[in-house]
Structure 1
Amino acid sequence: MDATAAEGTVRVEVDLAGRSYDILIGDGLIASCGSEIARRMPSVRCAIVTDSNVAAAHLATLVESLERAGIESATITLDPGEKTKSFAALEAVVDGVLGARLERGDLVIALGGGVIGDLAGFAAGIVRRGMGFVQVPTSLLAQVDSSVGGKTGINTARGKNLVGLFHQPRLVVADTAALDTLPPREFRAGYAEVVKYGLIDRPDFFAWLEKDWRAVFTGGPARQRAIAESCRAKAEIVARDELETGERALLNLGHTFGHALEAATGYDGARLVHGEGVAVGMALAHRFSVRLNQCSADDAARVEAHLGEVGLPVRMADIPGSLPGAEQLLSYIAQDKKVLRGALTFILTRGIGRSYIARDVPASEVLSFIQENLPE
């Protein structure tokens, strides 16, 4: 599944037969992105999609790398934040790609966090009925989760990621040095997705994170190990279930509650960013599993303790501002993509590292649970 691509760089393969691709993980990789692209996809031109914050930190390095490799590029710069995952921003990206006169065989490069990756990947999937794209994730959340696996999309007023498609990248370049420019809150939010992989089916990984999380936050070998292990975990599941017809749904642990809370806050990043929603969602999923007699209270408390120790929110009361009532939150959950013919589906757990897909969860149970967990 993985090997060393160059000294200090880890390569993880996403094995999808004729559409397999590499995830490269290492320090300073944005500066070598042009040569990696040219080696795999010669004679392409590119449109770089980024946001203004990321552009200030990393765009010049990427453009110089492309120029050294003889790759022409145009840049499309958007506003930062979750609200950019919109129809309006999608139109702007599509217009920019077409305005650059890029052809079907050319590339879209997503330089940024999960918002940019999801949006740029969606645009690449629909322009000229499908162009190639490369993920250059600059946030921890994007490096360990959203840049891998081909899920792309935008949000609507009715819920998160409800419009999109599966469109696999041709390459993922995860420069761990880019994480040094992240605000601490954004890094913590991304760490929630790292924890998720331990809670799905890697209890030993979760135990290691409990012990060594400070080293992951500091950087160096522990951070690279955490990113690589997360990418391996996701790559293995995606290879077995690319289109989420079965076990890939496990990757949504914490997301059903989390997405509902994001919608409830109007995708206001000042109140709640995605990884924080996932953290609260994972804590809720474990407490809900306890309520259904599937998980021990000790395991749920252990999860909550670790998330809280690193500074992540674990309860709805930790979210600033007011939240809508239980019925409204349940309506957001009912818009979740895992709902099948109106039946609620959750990713629940029988303990740390023992997550499972629970189908036909009674709405009355969910409503009662939400009511009990709403802030007073």
Structure 2
Amino acid sequence: MSPSDPIEYFEMLSPTASVILNVCDVKIENVDAAILARVTRLGVNMINTSCCLRSVAVQVGNAPRLRELMLGLDVQELADDDALGLLQANTRATVRSMEIWLTSSTDSAPLNEVTARAVAQTIASFPVTKLSLNGVRATETGAKMLYDAMIDAPRLYDVEVSRSSDLARAFAAFGRPWTCPQRHEHDDICIARVNAAKETVFPQITSWSLQGVWSEMRSAIPTLQAMDHLRSLRLFFQTRLSDDEFVDVLAAIAPLPRRTLALGGVALLSTPYRVQWLLSMLEAKSSFTTLRLREAGLTIYGLDVMGSLLRHLWQLEYLDIGNNALTDNAVPQLMALIKWSSVHAIRLSDNDLSDDAMDSLHAFRRPRRRCDLIFYGDRFFNEM
């Protein structure tokens, strides 16, 4: 729901109803306390607004039913010890899950030690389940603080690092498991130590996201390969990849254990043979269930290939090809995709399909009782 909705709407809800409120364009201090009293899940985007963490900390005290809190804010906000203390006091008894999306207004400067320690304490002290770091830089000391906090955060399972290549490299280096340095035929003791070391690499984190330049991102791959518990991987490439680099990406991620793969980037899938290479690589992954190809430069020619190959990916349940600038010209290819694939749902949000095109796809799907079609987004924070 929205803060602009009349209070009567909230009063009509059952006292036990789950109420989601997203505060983006208004100050949270202007939200009626009676509305906050009903909220169970609150999202507050403080980035590029005049809202501050202290205001949020005060207002969540009016939300006794609050169970989930999502905060988008500048990393410097966490340097306010008093605001953090108040936020913890007002959420300790109620909030069970927090998502924190941090960005930096000073991209060129790494976090100073005070701010890095404040971020680390926040990660370790609150029930953080998802952490997003966008454009946040840190010294080696600061990165180690964040790494240690991530290891100690018992509920953290999803990490996203965007436009922060040095931080991603530091996490990868700190998390890299032990390997035997001796040049000899490894015995049972060596193998046992290697396997034990793998269990200590971010043991609770099952989802990892990286955004940046492949030449810098690839340093994290050995660490990710050691995470046998990894279930979701998201890579977004900020520069155009050559065919050789694309093949290198596929070779690097092929061994990774996962159920969900999200790939995107500048013209990443602009040629049909890249789509073929990707789907052929995934065909052997029996545990693979979700494929997200948002903002990947997918074309009707790539859809042609996808329509013919997806029938072999029997394990795939969910396909997201949103935000690819697909137009009404893609309707025949999308119909073929619906007809031949066995997926449960296809997400097409943020494309350039007309209402008539969407109606045609729905009409084509309905008598065949095929997959659900999702044309609109539903997330408070932007998703690739």
Q: TM-score range by the shorter chain?
A: under 0.3
The structure with more radius of gyration = 2
Q: Which has the higher contact order (CA 8 A, sep 6+)?
A: 1
Larger helix share, 1 or 2: 1
The alignment's TM-score, normalised by the length of structure 2, stands at: 0.26
